[in-house]
Structure 1
Amino acid sequence: MHSSLEQRISNLLQKCTFTQLKQIHALITTTSLNRDIRISTKTLRRSTEFGGMDYSELLFSQMDEIFPADLLLWNAMIRGYAFNGPYDKCISMHHQMIQRGLKPNNYTYPYLLNSCAQIGIGCHLQGMKMHCQIIKVGFERAPAVSNSLLNFYMYMESSCDYFVLGVRKNEKPSDAQKVFDDMLLKPVQIWNRMIWGCINIGDVESARKLFDNMPERDIVSWNSMISGYAKIGNVEKANELFMQMSEKNVVTWTSMVGAFSNSGDLQTAKRLFLEMPYRNVISWNSMISSYTRHGKFQEALELFVEMHLQGVNPDGFTFVSALSACSNLGALEFGKWIHFYLIRDWCQLGVIVGTALIEMYAKCGDVDRAFKIFIKLGEKDVFCWNVMMKSLAIHGRTRDAIKIFFMMQGRGLKPNEFTFTSALFACNHGGLIEEGRQIFSSMKDLGISPKLEHYGCLVDLLGRNGQVEEAKLLVEGMPFEPDIAVWGALLGGCRVKGDLRLAEEVMERIDELKTNESGVYVLLSNIYASAGQWPKAVNAREKMEDKKIWKRTGCSSVLGVVNI
């Protein structure tokens, strides 16, 4: 009877819900089964599989009174913390085990090492101490333990800016390499993990050595190496391996499409794309995004249409690339069609796609529709707020842009440096001096050091509105050497104020930069002309000719600082 009930409970534990688990716990507590270590361990282990550890801690405290020194229970708890966190409690339980005289076994150490890796650099020494204990008790070659040791060192060494494979900076073999060399069983998956770990930090040379020394390879091995060469831009080597492969899958073909497109060879990338025996959504995304990145926006949209006609369901990455192409082409009607597509499957409209949609409408001139989408979006990240703020400012709705800036902070989001660039841009175009000063000052309060472009925006704002002396003091107090954009902004302020003396001082500093920017000379000539000093105006133009500097129609970097 006891054995039959035990078997039934074991079967139930494998598929029970959390509520049913509590009922099972009540049953074994009110029967003699609570003294069966196997049932207790299975119950405790199952309790850790629901994503939290509060109930497991309650069970453990009760069971520990009955089985005060049973390693099975401790392993179950350590396993639970390793999966659910907090990871430091996993390490803490290890210390308590040692104090109680319990010895960890080959089931304990993998979870401890994985927790050390998850905690990160602060637990590096702790993991190394565990490695010493593992060697002392002879578990270092147990497959589960050696795999966890390998994972631990690969993770830690990459975090510490060591080479994961091959050599450290001091030319000695890395700890991961030592563990790998000592492993008795090295299936192809372990070799692949080492290769990928090396590629992850850009050490493709060491990865190739491993690849060449593999006793057997699978398609993952080949794909990893092709991906590694593509990552460092060595298309020739990637293609060499591609041609050698007897069997290729969709990952192989897609990697090569990406490799050629990243190198700028879109013709070969498209040829391979068309030759692919099977294309999934990632393959289509790779080709569409390649066209978008290289400014082939019309081709990107044509491929998006073809993808739709072939019945391939696009994902968020597809929509972002297509909307970006619409933005750059000003293709509002095409963008509206994509929006209609998204409305039919609204779950596709995450924050990244939503932001791309906002930017598309704004760049195509419909900022009101962009703002409506912004309001409808649920969770919005900082980038989304930045795009909306910048879009409003570009369309002259500078007050609304500043409201967005303060609303964003009211929602608990911390602005980044791009947020401040957009906000200062809005102030500049709206002539909002006080708001600009306030926003610039608040940067330091939020722990953000103003960059050159932030100073340039404020200098331009002050100069445009006649605050030339304040703008000059700001330039003099900058922690950077002013560039042509900053000096140009100050020179623009001199024109507004009619300050010839300061304009000449600024031009002396600009001449020291030995720039070929035509805009500053044209601006200086106009300042002289406005003051009626025609000989000097002509002289400024002649200086341009002497230096062979020609004005480019509609293009100047003098105020480029605000062209964000």
Structure 2
Amino acid sequence: MRGVSRRLHQFLGPKNPHKTSFHYTDLLHLCKTVDSIKKTHAQVIIGGHEQDPFIAAKLIDKYAQIGNGGSYVKHARNVFDQLSHRDVFCWNVVIKGYANMGPFAEALNVYDEMRLSGINLNRYTYPFVLKACGAERAFLKGRIIHGHAVKCGLDFDLFVCNAFVAFYAKCQEVEVSRKLFDEMPERDIVSWNSMISGYIANGYVDDAVIIFFNMLRDDDIGFPDNATLVTVLPAFSEKADIHAGYWIHCYIVKTGMKLDPAVGCGLITLYSNCGYISMARAVFDQISDRNVIVWNAIIRCYGMHGFPQEALGMFRCLVESGLHPDGIVFLCLLSACSHAGMHAQGWQLFQTMETYGVVKSEAHYACMVDLLGRAGDLEKAVEFIQSMPVQPGKNVYGALLGACRIHKNLELAELAAEKLFVLDPNNAGRYVILAQIYEDAGRWQDAARVRKVIREKEIKKPIGYSSVELESGHKKFGVNDETHPFTTQIFETLVSLDKIMGIEARTQCDVIL
């Protein structure tokens, strides 16, 4: 920082006769704080260069990059507004600033002003404005901009196509994204990454995996980069595909790719979901610059597999490392304590959240209700809900309903369900749990009434399925699944096996008797 100030003093002194556009832009490149940018800006004005589009564009970009929640974008806009002549580069950097820092709607307004000004838009304009459209979920506006790109002849430009693939995916129009992707005359690694990310963001995990392997077969692309692995690892984690995890891990080692926090976190989650706790820990130990997200992943790993003491130990290491735990860390810890029946430790963690500056959300309160409910303290759970400083939501009452089923408290279950039918009316699971509680109590008519409500309201329960790993890959199947081409043979074989097992069981009984 002192070096920058010294260069500013030497370079921008009133007696220096060698000030050019390149001198100012060189200094702006070195600026890391708002004060240093403002000093350079002041000297630009004193030197009479404030109307230089090249310097102005660099100033706009620098102010926008400085961050602080977008509060300095207004300084960038002031520089832009004072220009008498604006080239396409100046317009683009203003749109870029709003697209990155917000407000996103302002990026769309500047884009409209740019078109009205008669400036010819280029291939860099559309990625910026479409990023803002995606952030705003402004689907109709994006379609209009797509039409503008077609008129400009840029609809098949690689940069622009990549931006449209990402935009439509953000607006949940994955089929449109895929159609554009398939029609692209050329693709780069960004194209593939955008399509994979789009599928995963919209829940099409299998399609994401398929397109990833298609990318590996594309000779023009070469090898996946860091962004590819960060993008695709959540898909393999959800599928619990350990072989894909091994492949990616080996690829990182063989290529010498740095195991950064993003990729490392993805690997930890994948190994965790597959039950390979020691491998998850080994990856964690290899990450040198661990952030809170990485710590979250390993704490969650220990917690979900029933190792609460290890999770608490990692929490202590996190604090000792100088990092501040966030709300997700506490969610993982509270959940671990709840499932392990560690009532006192969970309560202590909940009380210490404010010490670390973590705001308690409805999810944290739901964890505490779950903890109290699993321990059988239903009355205390109700008192806890009534004393909450935030409005209890569906997660809180869902935890209470689940506890009522465990401890067969029908009266309290009806009260919790009544709240849930208002807060979460389309969740079939809530109705099913209440119906099961009625069935456990022998109140069959009430159970039938609840199930009738599900049918009348046409509330759909997500179809559960199992997955088996074969040599040809993962195969999914649900209850009474008849989609397989050899369904008849499969069910006939199962019936035969059932008969054989019945005969064997009777034979064993006869031998014993």
Same fold by TM-score, threshold 0.5 exceeded? yes
Q: Is the 8 A contact 2:64 2:73 kept in 1?
A: no
> Secondary structure at 1:344's aligned position in 2?
helix
| Cα deviation, residue 549, structure 1 | 7.3
Tell me the residue number matched to 1:14: none
Q: Which residue of 1 aligns with 2:450?
A: 544
Aligned to 2:161: 253
Compared with structure 1, are the counterparts of its residues 335 and 518 closer, same or farther at alpha carbon in structure 2 (3 Å cutoff)? same
After superposition, the CA RMSD in angstroms is 4.4
Matches of 1:491 and 1:250, distance apart in 2: 52
- For 2:111, give the aligned amino acid: A
SS at match of 1:300: helix
State whether structure 2 residue 320 is matched by structure 1 residue 417.
no
- Match for residue 264 of structure 2 among 342, 354, 375: 354
TM-score, normalised by the number of residues in structure 1:
0.65
Return the alpha-carbon distance in structure 2 between the equivalents of residues 241 and 293 of structure 1. 27
* Change beyond 3 A, Cα 1:508–1:364: closer
How many angstroms apart in 1 are the aligned matches of 2:114 and 2:290?
44
Q: 1:190 pairs with 90, 110, 115, which one?
A: 90
The 5 A counterparts of 1:239-250 are 239-246=146-153, 249-250=157-158
1:521 pairs, out of 410, 426, 434, with 434
Give the CA deviation at 1:77. 6.2
Which residue of structure 2 lines up, in the alignment, with residue 178 of structure 1?
81
Q: Which amino acid aligns with 2:70?
A: S
- Please report how far the alpha carbon of residue 487 of structure 1 lies from its aligned counterpart in structure 2 after TM superposition: 3.2
- For the residues of structure 2 that align with 1:302 and 1:498, how far apart are their CA atoms? 46
Q: 2:113 aligns with which of 199, 204, 209?
A: 209
- Contact 1:285-1:317 at 8 Å conserved across structures: yes
Greater Rg over alpha carbons, structure: 1
Cα drift, residue 424 of structure 1: 0.7
Deviation of 1:337 after TM superposition, in Å, equals 2.1
1:326 counterpart = 2:260: no
**Equivalent position of 2:70 in the other structure:** 159
CA distance in 2, matches of 1:473, 1:129: 59
Cα offset for 1:443? 0.5
For 1:415 and 1:429, the matched residues in 2 are separated by 21
The separation in 1 between residues aligned to 2:409 and 2:184, in whole angstroms, is 67
Matches within 5 A, 1:453-532: 453-493=363-403, 517-519=430-432, 521-522=434-435, 525=438, 529=441
**Equivalent of residue 385 in structure 1, options 286, 295, 298:** 295
- 1:164–1:197 Cα contact (<8 Å) kept: no
Q: Which of 393-402 and 453-462 deviates more?
A: 393-402
Cα distance, 1:417 vs structure 2: 0.6
The total of aligned residue pairs comes to 446
The one-letter amino acid of 1:189's match is F
Contact 1:116 1:127 in 2 (8 A): no
What's the CA shift string for 1:9-30, capped at 9, x where partnerless?
A: xxxxxxxxxxxxxxxxxxxxxx
Residues 73, 98 of structure 2: 8 Å contact kept: no
Match of 2:10 among 43, 59, 76: 76
Deviation at 1:489, TM superposition (A): 3.2
In structure 2, give the amino acid aligned to 1:431: G
8 Å CA contact 2:209–2:232 kept in 1: the answer is: yes
Give yes or no for contact 2:431–2:451 (8 Å, CA) kept in 1. no
Sort the Cα spacing of 1:331 and 1:149 in 2 relative to 1 into closer, same or farther, 3 A.
closer
Match of 1:236 among 139, 143, 147: 143
Per-residue deviation, residues 475-499 of structure 1 (Å, max 9, x unmatched): 2211123234423434555566676
Q: Please, which runs of 5 or more residues in structure 2 have no aligned partner?
A: 465-513
More divergent stretch after superposition (510-519 vs 419-428): 510-519
Q: After TM superposition, give the deviation of residue 524 of structure 1 in Å.
A: 5.0
Gap regions ≥5 residues in structure 1: 1-51, 61-72, 79-96, 166-173, 557-564
Query: Is the contact between residue 362 and residue 370 of structure 1 (CA under 8 Å) also seen in structure 2?
Result: yes
**Equivalent residue number for residue 497 of structure 2:** none
- Once the two structures are superposed, residues 293-315 of structure 1 have per-residue CA deviations (whole angstroms, 9 ceiling, x without a partner) of 23333333333233223341211
Corresponding letter in the other structure for 1:521: L
Q: What is the distance in 2 between the residues matched to 1:345 and 1:394?
A: 32
What are the superposed Cα offsets for residues 3-49 of structure 1, whole Å, 9 maximum, x if unpaired? xxxxxxxxxxxxxxxxxxxxxxxxxxxxxxxxxxxxxxxxxxxxxxx
> Structure 1 CA distance, aligned partners of 2:238 and 2:318?
27
Cα 1:104–1:315 change in 2 (3 A) is same
Q: Secondary structure at the match of 1:372?
A: helix
SS at match of 1:347: coil
Q: Distance in 1 between matches of 2:424 and 2:161?
A: 49
Mean Cα displacement is larger for which, 406-415 or 297-306? 297-306
In structure 1, C-alpha distance between the alignment counterparts of 2:8 and 2:225, rounded to whole Å: 44
Shift of the alpha carbon at 1:140? 4.2
The question of whether the paired residues in 1 share the 8 Å contact of 2:335 and 2:367 is answered with yes
Listed as ranges, the matches of 1:141-152 within 5 Å are: 141=51
Matched, 1:442 2:352: yes
Taking the aligned partners of 2:178 and 2:402, their CA distance within structure 1 comes to 48
Instruction: State the one-letter code of the partner of 2:216.
Output: H
Separation (CA, whole Å) in 2 of partners of 1:321 and 1:470: 43
Q: Percent identity?
A: 24
Structure 2 CA distance for aligned equivalents of residues 514 and 205 of structure 1: 37
2:193 is aligned, of 282, 285, 289, to 285
Q: 1:115 to 1:221 in 2, by over 3 A?
A: closer
Q: Output one character per residue of 1:346-392: Cα deviation in whole Å (capped at 9) or x when no partner.
A: 42422211111121122233333223322333222211221222222
* 1:299 to 2:207 alignment: yes
- Corresponding residue for residue 371 of structure 1: 281
CA-CA distance at 1:469 after TM superposition: 3.7
